[in-house]
Amino acid sequence: MLDSTATTRTEEVLASLNAALEAGDVAAVTALFATDSYWRDLVAVTWNLKTVEGPDGVADMLTQQLSHTRPGNFRIQDGEVPAEDGGVITAWITFETRAGRGWGLMRLKDDRIWTLLTAMQELKGFEENRGTRRPMGAEHGADKHRATWKERREAEEAALGHETQPYTVIVGGGQGGIALGARLRQLGVPTIVLDKHDRPGDQWRSRYKSLCLHDPIWYDHLPYLKFPDNWPVFTPKDKIGDWLEMYTKVMEINYWTRSEVERASFDAASGTWTVEVNRDGERITLNPTQLVLATGMSGKANMPEFPGMDSFKGTIQHSSEHEGPDAWTGKKVVVVGSNNSAHDICAALWEAEADVTMVQRSSTHIVRSDSLMEIGLGALYSEEAVANGITTEKADMIFASLPYRIMHEFQIPLYDQMRERDAAFYEGLEKAGFDLDWGDDGSGLFMKYLRRGSGYYIDVGASQLIIDGEVKLAKGQVDHFEENAVVLSDGTRLEADLVVLATGYGSMNGWAADLISQEVADTVGKVWGLGSDTTKDPGPWEGEQRNMWKPTQQPNLWFHGGNLHQSRHYSLYLALQLKARMEGLETPVYGLQEVHHLS
């Protein structure tokens, strides 16, 4: 080392990397990576979302992709200074490929690359019209018979799907479909978002009335348009619904309400889909090239069947059907389940003076919302983070730069801190008989979510009701129903006027089976999960969210969803992949996911 500064050492590594890439010397590139290293690429090099591990993984990726995508011109990002902490140098970088430009984050250990994130941000020649490229809007001067903006929008809306066909159809108009629709709009990809509800945002408005976001607002911005500075930290569902409705209009998304897909089929010869839509009673056939299922990270409601349900004289609802507690004051209610929805519903019913019992079927991870904000998210998503120069975009990249293989190692200490800080709280839950867990390896909420998407509750008040005995707790599996009761497998009998089955949702793969065919669903395989071989996330190891935001084994079929954070961040990479295909760019995919059937 000629210089001990982090900047000089980073520049030396980047110079060597650029020289090796320019020369096509894969061996020289891999020599720059530590034995225990990870290169996570978001579209830039792989035209995929892919993490390769170790020098051998880097060598395999570059052997297949280097001549096609030509990554290079790696530099320290303008205005950024690499920093060293604990023997690790962290540097913000920019780079180019044959097709586009990107940025990322690199970490060095002993002057070798430990983690590298490369994320495509724009396609050369197809940049978004934003910033200095923004449209003029009004064309000053005189021009006979010219159309106004309103007239042009009305003409576009009337023609798309009738006189002209969209390149992309997005099924699902929640935050995922809306975020992707906004991205594609800015990229000039003709797109229709289909939603069965009456208005954008109704999928939030139609849920139980106490529903609110359990994660803080800094984590939940949509692309291009952030929430105002006075927006509440935890947003009520109807307020989110109003925001989504406004957003679709402001971002000029072609959003079809009261539109339900009845079936879809793919013609391999033409490379297009036939999508049959019931639009408020009118049958319309769309023929897009690309079909995106943006139905969330979950599939259809999991509605279990138990003996005696037909003879039950009360009401049985899935949690997705539960509108709220108002009709159940003074009534006996059993809520089967112990995750987020179950807790929220129990708390709202208690507030309405219902007699509420929660049935816990398996252990649940609980984390208090204030602890999650301060310890789990505060460094990246908070007012303090913003003041320290951590923009939402930077926070997303920092989070994305942690390879899934080792992410749990970063999470475990955080959740150990939460467990220590809130020891009395957890002791109270255990005394009440509530079964707690912290994930198979103690890594807590985020890893549980990434691995299987369930098994947790971000506490916003319901836990104290359980501790105090205000919400009664029963444990076990439902065995059968009687005329006025639910009976558990140990014989416990719970009288009920209403039973809410907060029993979760199936895989997104199920939507493909219903809308397209079981054959296509089987071709795609599992959706969501990492293949971590932990509870509900069987292997083999994939290293990325299975089939999410990237090419699948079914040509021209994509899956998009997740929470607001994921909808915002990953919609960019999916949009760039779709835009590149529309423009006929070469998009050789490295590491297309193998098929792992549902089990």
249-289 residue pLDDT tens = 999 999 999 999 999 999 999 999 999 999 999 999 999 99
Check: CB of residue 208 under 8 Å from CB of residue 344: yes
Order of strands across the sheet that contains 485-488? 478-482, 485-488, 493-495
- Say if 44 falls within a structural domain: yes
Distance CA 35, CA 472 (A): 53
pLDDT value of position 299: 63
User: In this structure, are 518 and 487 located in the same domain?
Assistant: no
Task: Take residue 106 and report the two structure tokens written for it.
Answer: 């690199």
- Higher pLDDT: 201 or 211? It is 201
Q: Reply yes or no on whether the pLDDT at 323 is more than 50.
A: yes
- By 3-state DSSP, what share of the chain in percent is helix, strand and coil, each rounded to 5? 35, 25, 40
Write down the pTM of the prediction. 0.95
What single-letter DSSP state applies at residue 242? H
Kindly list the distances between the CA atom of residue 331 and the CA atoms of 138, 354, 478, in Å, as whole numbers in the listed order: 60, 5, 20
- Say if 169 falls within a structural domain: yes
* Percent of the chain residues past pLDDT 90, beyond the cut: 85
pLDDT tens-place string over residues 365-374: 999 999 999 9
Q: Reply yes or no on whether the pLDDT at 4 is more than 70.
A: no
Confidence of residue 535 (pLDDT cuts 50, 70, 90): confident
- Say if 162 falls within a structural domain: yes
Of 78, 106, 123, the domain-final residue: 123
Distance CA 453, CA 448 (A): 6
User: In this structure, are 398 and 371 located in the same domain?
Assistant: yes
User: In this structure, are 289 and 228 located in the same domain?
Assistant: yes
User: In this structure, are 258 and 167 located in the same domain?
Assistant: yes
Residue recorded with tokens 């509440």: 232
Cis omega before residue 288 (within 30°)? no
User: In this structure, are 241 and 326 located in the same domain?
Assistant: no
User: In this structure, are 269 and 350 located in the same domain?
Assistant: no
Buried b (16+ CB within 10 A) or exposed e, 437-476: bbbbeebbbbbbbbbbbbbbbbbbebbebbbeeebbbbbe
Q: How many domains does the chain have?
A: 3
| Mean per-residue pLDDT over the chain, rounded | 94
- Say if 145 falls within a structural domain: no
User: In this structure, are 287 and 193 located in the same domain?
Assistant: yes
Q: Reply yes or no on whether the pLDDT at 148 is more than 90.
A: no
pLDDT value of position 30: 98
Q: Reply yes or no on whether the pLDDT at 554 is more than 50.
A: yes
Q: Which domain holds residue 58?
A: 6-123
Confidence of residue 517 (pLDDT cuts 50, 70, 90): very high
pLDDT value of position 599: 42
Task: Take residue 45 and report the two structure tokens written for it.
Answer: 């090099």
Looking up residue 114, the CATH number of its domain turns out to be: 3.10.450.50
Average pLDDT over residues 113-122: 98
pLDDT value of position 298: 57
User: In this structure, are 329 and 440 located in the same domain?
Assistant: yes
User: In this structure, are 463 and 357 located in the same domain?
Assistant: yes
User: In this structure, are 201 and 117 located in the same domain?
Assistant: no
User: In this structure, are 531 and 563 located in the same domain?
Assistant: yes
User: In this structure, are 524 and 488 located in the same domain?
Assistant: no
Check: CB of residue 46 under 8 Å from CB of residue 120: no
Residue recorded with tokens 């359980």: 466
